[in-house]
Each structure stands twice: as C-alpha cells, then as structure tokens.
Amino acid sequence: MPKAQRILIYVLRHDLRLADNPVFTTAAKAHDQFTHLIPLFVLNPIQYELSGFLRPSEQSPFPEARSRIGHFWRCGPYRTKFLAESLFDLKKSLQEAGSDLIIRTGETHSVVRSIIDALNREGSEVKAVWVTRDFTAEELDEERRIRKALPSSVSFKVFDDESTLICRKDVPYPISELPDVFTSFKKSVEPLRANARVAIEGIPSIPPLPIGMPPQTAPFLIPGALDDFINALQKPLLEKPDVPLISFPEGTRSAHSFVGGSTAAHERIAHLLSSGAASRYKDTRNGLLGEDFSTKLSAYLAHGCISAAQIHSALKEWEDRNNDGRENKGSAAIRFELLWRDYMRFCLEKYGADFFQLYGFGRKGRKMGGEEWRTPSSADPGAQDAFKRWLTGRTSTGLIDAAQRELLLTGYMSNRARQNTASFLATRLHIDWRLGAEWFESMLVDYDCASNWGNWAHVAGVGNDPRENRMFNPVKQANDYDPEGKYIRTWVEEARGIEDVGCVWQLWKLHGEERKKRGIEDPLVKIEWSTKKRAKTYGRFKNEHRSGGGGGPKRQQ
Ligand SMILES: Cc1cc2nc3c(=O)[nH]c(=O)nc-3n(C[C@H](O)[C@H](O)[C@H](O)COP(=O)(O)OP(=O)(O)OC[C@H]3O[C@@H](n4cnc5c(N)ncnc54)[C@H](O)[C@@H]3O)c2cc1C
C-alpha cells in the first residue's frame, strides 16, 4: 500500500496560511505528480529555544537560541505564544481539509532528511521538497542545507514570496536597481489599488498526509495540546528572563491582545472594515493607546497568517460595495503603509548581509553625528548602565519609558513609539543600534526581519534615508502625540498623579522630594523642549483632532 505513495514535502516558514498560499494552490493542482503532501513546520534551534521540549532527564544537543551581540533569547515569550497559536490554527484548518500540520523540532535539513529516509524505508517515494523564498542569511542558508541533504531522486523548488502587496515580478526593474528613496519606488509601482496582487480565492483541496509518518525523534517530544506546546516554548524564557520581570500597571490593557492564526487575522480585518477603523486609519495611525488606532495586522503578516494581497482584496471589496470602487483616505493609507513593508523586504533582498552591519546599508561608513558607537560592556560601564535603563524603561524620559515598558509587558508598541525609542538609543545614547534591533527581535510579537532591521537602520541614520542626522525629540513628540500624558501614565505608574504634564514628559524635572518618593532616577539624557513652542503646538494638535479633518500629525519618515 505505501508503495503507491508519491510524496511532496512543503516546509512552511513565514507562510502559515492555507488560503492565498501559492504553494498549497500549486500542490492542489499537481495530482498527476503527487499522491500525498506533508505540510511541515520545523522549530529550528537557531531561532527557537527547544529545551522546553526535552523528554525527562534528556539534554539538548543545541546551544541556547540567543542573539549574536546582546545574547537575548532570539524569539521571546510573546512571539512564541503567537507562533504556537498560528501553528495550531493552521493545523486545525488542515485537519478540516483532510490533512494535518506536522510540527517537528531540530535542524530543518536533518528533519527533512530523516522523514524522507523513514518513508523510503516503508517503500514510499518522496518526490519533492518545496519552500517559499526568503532573503535573510539564515533562511538562505537553511535552503542550501536542505538542498544538500536531499537524495538525488528528490527535487527541490523555491517558490517566490507572494506575501507582498506588489509582487516582486511586477516591480518594473530588477531588485538590484531598487531606488534608494522610498518615494521613487512608490511612484514606480503606483497606482497601488490597481497594481496590487488580488488574493487567490477559496481553500485549495490538498492531497492527504501519507501513511507511516515517522514520529518526532528523541530527545524532544512535541505536546499535542496548545497550552502544553506554548508552555514548552515559553518555559526556558520565563525561567531565565533577559531582564528582571516587572508587574503590569494597575488598570492597564494591552494594545495587542490578539491571538495568532489566520482565523483571528480575518476576524480582525472584518472588524477594521465594519467598525470604520480602516476608514479612520489615516487620522488615527499615529496614536499610542488602544486596539483600533492602527490595524494591528503586523503580527499576522509577519507569520504569514495573512498576505498583503488578502488585506488589499478585502479593502477592494469594501470599496466596491461602499465607496463607488474608490479608495478612501483610510484604505489608501493602509496600502501606503503596506508598501513600506514591501520596500523593506526588497531592500533586504538588494543589500543582503549589509542590512545587519553596524554601518548599515545604503551609505556605508556614515555614522550618526560623527561619534563612535558605544558598546555596553565592563570597558564602558556608562553605556552598560544606560542600556539596562533603556531596556527596562527607566530613562526618566516619559515617552521612552512608557514605550519600553509596553514592549516588555505586551510585545507590542506603536510605530510612533518605535521610532522614538529607537532614535533615543541610537542618536542620543549612541549605543550600537543592532542591540536595539536584537531586543526588538526578541520582544516584538510582530518581529519581521526586513521591517525590523530596515527600520532600525533607517532611524539610526545608517539606512538609505536621504535625510541626514534625523533625530526625534521625545519630549516634543510627547507634546504632539501624548499631549495630556495619558499614554505615559498608562505604562509608567510613578507618573500617575503628577499634575504638570511637562513633568510627565520629562520625569526628571519633578522636584527633589517628590521625585525621590516616586523612585524616579536622574535623567539619562536631559532633553529640553521649550514651553513657548509647547503651548503653540499643543493648540494645533487639539484643533486638528477636533476638526477631524486634515489628517493626523505629520509622519517623520
Ligand atoms: C525601529 C522599528 C522597528 C520595527 N520593527 C518592525 C517589525 O519587526 N515588524 C513589523 O511588522 N514592523 C516593524 N516596524 C514597522 C511598524 O512600526 C509596525 O509595522 C507597526 O507599528 C505595526 O502595527 P500595525 O500593524 O498596527 O501597523 P499599521 O500602522 O496598521 O500599518 C499597517 C501595516 O503596514 C506595515 N507597516 C507600517 N509601517 C511600517 C514600516 N515603517 N515599515 C514596514 N512596514 C510597515 C505593517 O505590515 C503594518 O501591519 C518597525 C518600525 C520601527 C520604527
């Protein structure tokens, strides 16, 4: 019986969806070549800490999954949970379609090879292995290793990544000629509504799993229940947290309370459209508090629970039914932001390893303000202390502390907060920006290699942004985007009850005894902002929001 099995293995990575997935769609049409399909996800030891999956009294053969420079956990507690939920959601969809998702731990090439060998021993024939293209060095290396590990009878195919808004093949020049200015790129692919890829409709009917799937090998064991699976992923991270745990401020709610998976992603899109949040997006996207000021689709996109094409198609359908087939300013702004995501992906493809270098991609060798980057170490205890205070949100600059604590406690922070806190580390403290990028990689629920490293390089002034020496003033930014100090008071409990909003933005300005009583430290950097300007811009901000027109405060990208 197994002799008749002609098997295809699909190694999933950041494409955890059944619908609008070119690999599943192609597999569904390839009946003549394959009788069976194995959808496989491998938790590899470079990106995921696997010791929580060990059988009792077993030792892990792998070193801890930590980042290169800062030695943070590569995938922290929020993303591991979101990933687990996304995997189990896909598993459920596949089971409903008569298949399943096979989850394994180990080095991807070895796992693939051991599955092939086990099935071959049973008389089945694995014919091919397919993956979706990725451009990070790690994923390219993974592809090379899989290719090398395959017996000559097994073919290997890499599918183009179609998770972007504008397909790579529709960019009107080779990616090596991608413009260094985002606006030029944008002009070359507009109009976005007409040029974006439309999602493939429906669920493909995919071939079943083969009989005789080998189990997970020792020393690891994969739990069958979601809670146990999450626990296995999180246990080592929670036992040895990178920074001391802090308590959740009373009465505060996470802006990112979403569970992983395609099902939740589509519910989120439906909510954004039916509640009007998508139409209001342009005016609210610079917000800091709450679930609906921005789409909160980033984590779903990063894991591939949805594609940008699915978001575009949902917006298009809404526009066709409700807006005479035209964009409104909200839907246009969402497409615009999704194009930033495309741009970062294409930049990663163009610049490769330079993306992760201290002196960045684009203008190599240029350093912010001409100063040397500082490395927190015993040789520079000042930088060490400053970095620790930045990590834990104790800089005494209100906006930075709120943002860093929100990240630490929820795995999310808004784009506005990300820009400010990244700029603070890189351009005020002059600390090696890659440490910040690694910290975000560990903590963000929506970590995406291209978007994270590209934006960090951009804000640190070593990307391909034509504007020189860009620096955010977090006090001015708090004045513009948190004029009443609500966001800061939400996350920084010691700022609650301070009446003067200026002292909420600049906590260190609070007077002697009061400051001591609240445990507020000396400022890491004294950032001033004139009260004269403050009164003026505060008035303008209030007016913009009262009128409801004219868009939100200007973006500083
Ligand atoms: C230092 C720094 C690090 C970042 N790291 C990441 C990251 O790891 N993963 C990530 O998805 N985004 C990252 N961003 C971009 C942006 O902050 C987030 O995409 C956004 O805050 C996510 O919330 P949202 O989905 O509600 O965004 P929305 O405002 O609703 O935007 C819609 C979508 O557009 C895309 N998008 C928006 N802004 C950007 C941008 N500047 N660059 C690329 N794509 C964008 C995202 O896919 C987002 O989901 C980073 C930005 C900065 C400044």
How close is the Cα of 334 to the center of ligand 1, in Å? 11
**pLDDT interval class at 257 (50, 70, 90):** confident
Q: Is the pLDDT of residue 529 over 90?
A: no
Task: Note the pLDDT of residue 548.
Answer: 27
pLDDT in tens, 403-452: 999 999 999 999 999 999 999 999 999 999 999 999 999 999 999 999 99
**Cα–Cα distance list, 38 to 124, 178, 217, 261 (Å):** 13, 36, 17, 19
**CA 68 to ligand 1 center in whole angstroms:** 23
Note whether 372 and 213 are within 8 A (CB). no
At 126, which CATH number? 3.40.50.620
| Span from the CA of 380 to the centroid of ligand 1 (angstroms) | 33
Q: Predicted confidence band at 113 (pLDDT cuts at 50, 70, 90)? A: very high
Residue ID of nearest Cα to ligand 1 atom 45: 341
Check residue 514 and give its pLDDT.
Answer: 92
CA 341 / ligand 1 centre spacing (Å) = 7
Binding site: residue ranges?
281, 294-298, 446-448
Q: Single out the residue in 206, 237, 268 at which a domain terminates.
A: 237
Q: Is 307 in the pocket of ligand 1 (CB under 6 A)?
A: no
Binding residue ranges for FAD:
281, 294-298, 446-448
Is the CB of 442 inside a 6 Å radius of any atom of ligand 1? no
pLDDT tens digits, 130-152: 999 998 999 999 999 999 999 99
pLDDT for the residue 470: 79
Q: Is residue 143 located within the same domain as residue 14?
A: yes
Classify residue 278: in a domain, yes or no: no
Helices (H), 150-297: 182-189, 192-195, 226-239, 262-274, 277-284
55 is a domain residue: yes
| Pocket flag, ligand 1, residue 452 (CB < 6 Å) | yes
253-262 as b/e, with b when 16 or more CB fall inside 10 Å?
Answer: eebbebbbbb
> What confidence category does residue 2 fall into, taking pLDDT thresholds of 50, 70 and 90?
very low
160 C-alpha to center of ligand 1: Å? 22
* Residue nearest atom 18 in ligand 1 by C-alpha distance: 415
Return the pLDDT at 371: 61
- Quick one: pLDDT band at residue 540, thresholds 50, 70, 90? very low
The rounded mean pLDDT for the chain is 92
- pLDDT higher than threshold 70 for residue 552: no
Residues in a beta bridge with 380 = 377
CB of 272 shorter than 6 A to ligand 1:
no
Q: Which domain holds residue 491?
A: 354-539
Token digits of residue 514? 């009061």
Residue 538 has pLDDT above 80, yes or no: no
Q: Which two tokens stand for residue 196?
A: 């974006």
Task: Specify the pTM.
Answer: 0.94
* Residues 518 and 376 occupy one common structural domain: yes
Residue from 96, 18, 510 nearest 266 by CA: 18
Identify the CA nearest to 68 among candidates 452, 439, 458, 445: 439
Statement to judge: residues 230 and 358 lie in one domain = no
- What confidence score (pLDDT) does residue 143 get? 96
Residue 431 lies in a domain: yes
pLDDT surpassing 80 at residue 551: no
pLDDT over threshold 80, residue 544 = no
Q: Using an 8 Å Cβ cutoff, are 486 and 358 in contact?
A: no
Q: Is the CB of 296 under 6 A from ligand 1?
A: yes
β-bridge mates for residue 8, sequence order: 37, 128
Residues 230 and 367 in one domain: no
Pick the range with the lowest mean pLDDT from 94-108, 250-264, 368-382. Answer: 368-382
The answer to which of 58-72, 371-385, 481-495 has the lowest mean pLDDT is 371-385
Is the pLDDT assigned to residue 94 strictly greater than 60? yes
Place of tokens 């060095």: 137
Are residues 26 and 158 located together in one domain of the fold?
Answer: yes
Atom 31 (ligand 1): residue with closest C-alpha?
Answer: 337
Query: Alpha-carbon distance 105 to 43, whole Å?
Result: 5
Contact 221, 52 (CB under 8 A): no
Question: Which protein residue's CA is at the shortest distance from atom 6 of ligand 1?
Answer: 452
Q: Is the CB of 136 under 6 A from ligand 1?
A: no
* Three-state DSSP state, 242: coil
The residues that bridge with 126 in the sheet, in sequence order, are 7
- Which residue, by CA, sits nearest to atom 1 of ligand 1? 456
pLDDT at 366: 54
Pocket test of ligand 1: the residue of 415, 423, 458 to mutate, having most ligand atoms within 8 Å of its CB, is 415
Mutational test site, ligand 1, from 446, 447, 477, max ligand atoms within 8 Å of CB:
446
In whole angstroms, what separates CA 299 from the centre of its chain?
Answer: 6
pLDDT in tens, 263-318: 999 999 999 999 999 999 999 999 999 999 999 999 999 999 999 999 999 999 99
> CB–CB of 446/479 below 8 Å?
no
Count of the separate structural domains present in the chain: 2
> Which residues, other chains included, contact 24 with Cβ-Cβ below 8 Å and sequence gap of 6+?
10, 18, 39, 204, 206
Q: Is position 242 within any domain?
A: no
Decide: 295 in ligand 1 pocket, CB within 6 A: yes
Of 182, 206, 237, the domain-final residue: 237
Q: Are residues 230 and 363 in the same domain?
A: no
Of the three residues 176, 207, 237, the one that is the final residue of a domain is 237
Answer yes or no: is the C-beta of 447 below 6 A from any ligand 1 atom: yes
Closest CA to 537 of 556, 555, 553, 557: 553
Query: Do residues 128 and 156 touch, judged by C-beta distance below 8 A?
Result: yes
Tens of pLDDT, residues 180-231: 999 999 999 999 999 999 999 999 999 999 999 999 999 999 999 999 999 9
CATH number of domain containing 508: 1.10.579.10
Cα-to-centroid distance, 2 and ligand 1 (Å):
47
Both 232 and 378 in one domain: the answer is no
| C-alpha 180 to ligand 1 mean position (Å) | 19
pLDDT of residue 372: 81
Measure CA 421 to chain center. Answer: 16
Measured in degrees and rounded to the nearest 5, phi and psi for residue 102 equal: -95, 120
Inside any domain, residue 379? yes
284 in a structural domain: no
> 415 alpha carbon to ligand 1 midpoint, in Å?
6
Helix (H) or strand (E) holding 6: strand 6-12
Rounded to whole angstroms, how far apart are CA atoms 403 and 423?
Answer: 12
- Decide: 419 in ligand 1 pocket, CB within 6 A: yes
With respect to residue 249, please indicate whether it lies within any of the assigned structural domains.
no
User: Could you tell me if residue 65 is inside a domain?
Assistant: yes
Which atom of ligand 1 is found nearest the CA of 446? 9
Q: How far apart are the first and last CA of the chain?
A: 60
Is the pLDDT confidence value at 1 over 90?
no
